[in-house]
A = this chain, B = another copy of it.
């Protein structure tokens, strides 16, 4: 029986799935719309979404004939917490991001 971190990290190890997660950062999406930018079959995307769902990285909810996909941050948070045991990355990276914001003036505050 794979451990939760096993399935989470395995799900994150595929570039297609990471790209899907990035797309879902912007908005919830229907399966067909998720598949649109990829040069692979809808069935393949459906499998990827199943893996992301089983990993707890997204949730899927069917409304009518459309199945909506939505980020579920819990599993990623668990994995992130595990990784933080290995270093001080968290504050370091946030500082880097903040510095980037300051440098580019793209900060949400204007």
Contact = CB atoms under 8 A, between A and B. Distances in A.
A66 B103 CA distance: 35
**Range for the number of chain A residues in contact with chain B:** 35 or more
B13 A86 contact: no
B101 A96 contact: yes
A22 B80 CA distance: 15
Contact of A104 (B13, B18, B92, B99): B99
A68 to B, nearest CB: 18
Interface stretch (A28-36, A39-47, A69-77): A69-77
Interface string A77-110: 1011111111101101111111111011011111
Contact of A87 (B22, B76, B95): B76
A61 interface: no
Contacts of A6: 13-15
Contacts of A15: 3, 5-6, 108-110
A15 B20 CA distance: 25
Contacts of A9: 9-10, 12-13
A14 to B, nearest CB: 7
